[in-house]
Chain A
Amino acid sequence: MQKTRKIYLALIMLFLYAPIFVLVAQSFNASRYRGHWTGFTWEWYTALFENEDILAALGNTLTIGVTAAVCATLLALLTAVAMRRMGTRTRTLFNGVANIPLLNADIVTGISLMLLFLGLGLRLGYDTILLAHIVICLPYAMLCILPQVLELDDVCYEAALDLGASPFCAFRKVVLPELVPGIVAAFLLSFVMSADDFIVTYFTKGAGIDTLTTEIYAELKLGIHPEMYALSTLFFAAVVVFTVLLVLNFRVLRRYRGRMARQGGQA
């Protein structure tokens, strides 16, 4: 049984990582063409920093991702605080509206936003992509923040008020620290959703501007620039390093806490 489990896990991991190995291998492939291995090269990694299309698209992806994630997280936080004091029916309605972009198909969201922007007379471009990304990030931000806000206990907040703190000060010093994990999760998840989105961006971007995903889609027809593989390999390596550090940090923290608890018990 134990063996079957390990084999099953290994097969799933093979399935999940096979395309990633292929992409990493391509980034070192001397040939420009997919699937022909002609030798090892670093060339694409140096070429990456000279390819202005890719760098511009990367810039757009990063700035749109961060701005959309910040806006979605703030709006989700504000809304979640308001939802605490609502009746069940209003809350269900709010939840329903918030979840529409999550349950709706991306293609319908993209088309509907495009029709809206054009109907309002906006020119499709950077700003419309940003607005659209806040729309698709908001449900994920809500998903992370709302449960934590609803579980908050009023007692500490009211104690702070009784001790003379202003509502804002009480919120910042008492409530906010408890919400930090949810806020961080909301920001990260929103950023990932924004950076990885293709379909909604595709319909709301207009001509002359690209994010990484639309740039990749445009390149697909002519053959992807190998610099793109180099970029995604670098990005993936960064994520792996970050994750490993996170795991190590988590372990050290747990050991440290365990030791503190033991010492506390002795004293």
Chain B
Amino acid sequence: MHKDWSIRRLFGVPFVLWGVLFVVLPLFFVLHAGLTDEVGTFTLAVLGEAVQWEYLKALGLSVLLALVSTLACLVLGYPLCLILREYRQKNGMIIFLLFLLPLWMNSLLTTMAWQTILERNGVLNLFLGALGLPTLQLVNTPAAIVIGMVYNFLPYMVLPLFVSVSKVDKSVIEAARDLGASHWQTLRYVMLPLTRAGIISGCTMVFIPALTTFVISALLGGNKVLLIGNIIEQEFTAAYDWQLGSALSMVLMIFIILNMLLEFFTSEDNERKEARV
């Protein structure tokens, strides 16, 4: 028996090698490139170059758009999860599959299709015009980027949120309703606190890809809206300034680490509470 367990422990070795080589080591390569000059001596000069006003402005806009998109995903996704929860018994699976099907379409193509929908002579304005409404100038604005982000990242919000929402016992909601809480009060004082972990998990899942995308902003923002992702991408593929690109990535990594910590502490908090109950 013991021999069997020790062999099984060896099963972990490939992962350790893999993790060190392809997960941890690459991040050190970024740190190395961001913190050294051309000849390889340690310097903070590149990092200093990365925090200049022009880049900070792009970073600020990225954070703002990512926050708006995350909030929009939450506001759109939460009612959807509540509805999916209600329908779960009857034909919830079909609605859920309907929700998942668009994920199989290539996301670059669907994002580009939004360009076709939102542009000046696009599908949306065609409909608005036919209804006699004023047309909208959306493409190449931050609003179009937010729409693209919500479209691409809504599933990242809905999947963890749905897990969390469907865990809430039906009798808890019924008890709240029996005790005279309105729909709104039930949502505010029962559902939202009970699904806090799911909300935070969903928000962290949406925020990072929204903060760091360069594709959505390139396709829907023309070249008029520059996000931090676009700047990093250009440093690597057009300007070939890998040091500066790495230093900017390090600035992004600060947000990613903060995000990981938030996710880690809230989920642990949740587990501890469950253990106590």
- What residues make up the interface of A, taking CB atoms closer than 8 Å to B? 5, 8-9, 12-13, 15-20, 22-23, 26, 34-35, 75, 78-79, 81-86, 94, 97-98, 100-101, 103-109, 111-116, 119, 131, 134-135, 138, 161, 167, 192, 196, 198-199, 203, 212-213, 216-217, 220, 224, 228-229, 232, 235-236, 239-240, 243, 247, 250
Contact = CB atoms under 8 A, between A and B. Distances in A.
B212 A115 contact: no
A135 B102 contact: no
B8 A82 contact: yes
Contact of A224 (B9, B112, B236): B112
B233 to A, nearest CB: 7
Contacts of A235: 104
A78 B8 CA distance: 9
Contacts of A20: 102, 105, 110, 113
A232 B256 CA distance: 33
A134 B215 CA distance: 22
Given A19-B117, A26-B113, A108-B249, 7 more contacts: A20-B105, A22-B117, A82-B11, A103-B256, A107-B229, A115-B29, A192-B104
B108 interface: yes
Contacts of B109: 19, 23, 216, 224, 228-229, 232
A196 B80 contact: no
Interface stretch (B46-54, B90-98, B173-181, B187-195): B90-98
B22 interface: yes
Contacts of B119: 35
Contacts of A116: 22, 25-26, 29
Given A97-B23, A97-B24, A105-B211, A115 B5 contact: no
B116 A196 contact: no
12 contacts: A9-B83, A20-B110, A85-B5, A98-B19, A101-B23, A103-B259, A107-B233, A108-B256, A115-B29, A131-B22, A134-B22, A199-B215
Interface string B201-239: 000100011011111000100000000010011001000
A36 to B, nearest CB: 9
Contacts, number: 197
B259 A111 contact: no
A79 B14 contact: yes
B268 to A, nearest CB: 10
Interface of B: 4-5, 7-12, 14-15, 18-19, 22-27, 29-30, 33, 76, 79-80, 83, 86, 93-95, 97-99, 101-117, 119, 121-123, 151, 154, 204, 208-209, 211-215, 219, 229, 232-233, 236, 242, 245-246, 249, 252-253, 256, 259-260, 263
Nearest to B260: A103
B12 A75 contact: no
B30 A111 contact: yes
Contact of B102 (A16, A98, A228): A16
Given A35-B116, A212-B106, A247-B97, A22 B249 contact: no
Given A5-B83, A19-B113, A111 B236 contact: yes
A167 B80 contact: no
Given A13-B98, A100-B23, A108-B256, A75 B104 contact: no
A108 B30 contact: yes
Contacts of B245: 111
A78 B76 contact: no
A111 B246 contact: yes
B22 A113 contact: yes
Nearest to A229: B109
B212 A108 contact: yes
A229 B80 CA distance: 30
A240 B101 contact: yes
Nearest to A86: B12
Contacts of B114: 19
A228 to B, nearest CB: 7
B215 to A, nearest CB: 6
Q: Which of A85, A112, A243 has the most CB of B within 10 A?
A: A112
Contact of A119 (B29, B103, B204, B212): B29
A192 B103 contact: yes
Contacts of B29: 112, 115-116, 119
A85 B3 CA distance: 13
B93 A247 contact: yes
A220 B219 contact: yes
A84 B229 CA distance: 39
Contact of B26 (A12, A113, A250): A113
A134 B99 CA distance: 27
Given A19-B114, A103-B263, A111-B246, A35 B121 contact: yes
